[in-house]
Amino acid sequence: MYDGEIEKVLISEEEIVQKTRELAEVIAADYADKEVLMIGVLKGAVMFMSDLARALPLPVQLEFMAVSSYGSSTSSSGIVRILKDLDKDITGKDVLVVEDIIDSGLTLSWLLKNLGARNPSSIEVCTLLRKPDAIKVPIEVKYLGFDIPNEFVVGYGLDYAERYRDLRYIGTLKPEIYS
Ligand code: XMP
Ligand code: MG
């Protein structure tokens, strides 16, 4: 699949599976007496969220939001528009925002402010990936999968021009794909 388009595998399927298990264990301990309401940010977080939810030995509710941040296809501006809002009120809920990747942090920072204003009982972040060298606004991430170099990555939910989301691993694309 996508033969010849991937430059290198950054995080293998096995590493993702293992890390998801580890995160689920920690989250399960932290939320032992609570019901987690996962909020996934479409579309990138879908693969990670569905695997994480099933790895958690706890009842989990799933909600989704779609946002678009103005800017080019590979960098964000911090100006965010809600394309799809939550269907439900989150007042009093224990919210876990599940993200595929934190790059500049601008999108998530905006989202956390927006969700925080809706009076959840608690709100934490679980992200599979983070690019420490790209961070522009500090974000407190309670549950982190992997820190990765400041490179554009695809796979396991992450796309370039809507492709590669269905890859089971995280990788980088050959430069000629972008041109
Ligand atoms: P910020 O910069 O606001 O961006 O933290 C977060 C969103 O930007 C997208 N993004 C990526 N998508 N490969 C992708 O496929 C990447 O390397 C990448 N970096 C950022 C993604 O939608 C994320 O939620
Ligand atoms: Mg994207």
Q: Is 106 in the pocket of ligand 1 (CB under 6 A)?
A: yes
From 11, 46, 48, 76, the mutation candidate for ligand 1 (largest count of ligand atoms within 8 A of CB) is 76
Q: Please give the pLDDT value at position 73.
A: 58
Pairing of strands 60-69, 80-84: antiparallel
Tokens of 93: 């809920």
User: Residue 126's beta-bridge partner residues?
Assistant: 98, 143
Task: Find the 85 Cα to ligand 1 centroid distance in Å.
Answer: 19
Task: Find the 102 Cα to ligand 1 centroid distance in Å.
Answer: 6
Task: Find the 29 Cα to ligand 2 centroid distance in Å.
Answer: 31
Continuous segment of H or E residues that includes residue 93: none
pLDDT band at 3 (very low <50, low <70, confident <90, very high): confident
Q: Please give the pLDDT value at position 72.
A: 59
| Nearest ligand by distance to the CA of 78 | 1
Q: Which of 94, 103, 133, 159 is catalytic?
A: 103
Distances (CA, A) of 134 to 17, 50, 55, 75: 25, 27, 29, 10
| 3 state DSSP class of 11 | strand
- pLDDT of residue 140 exceeding 80, the answer is yes
Q: Is 100 in the pocket of ligand 1 (CB under 6 A)?
A: yes
Quote the CA–CA distance of 61 and 106 in Å, as a whole number: 26
State yes or no: is 103 an active-site residue.
yes
Quote the CA–CA distance of 36 and 31 in Å, as a whole number: 7
Query: Does domain 6-178 correspond to CATH entry 3.40.50.2020?
Result: yes
Q: Express each pLDDT in 32-67 by its tens digit.
A: 999 999 999 999 999 999 999 999 999 999 999 999
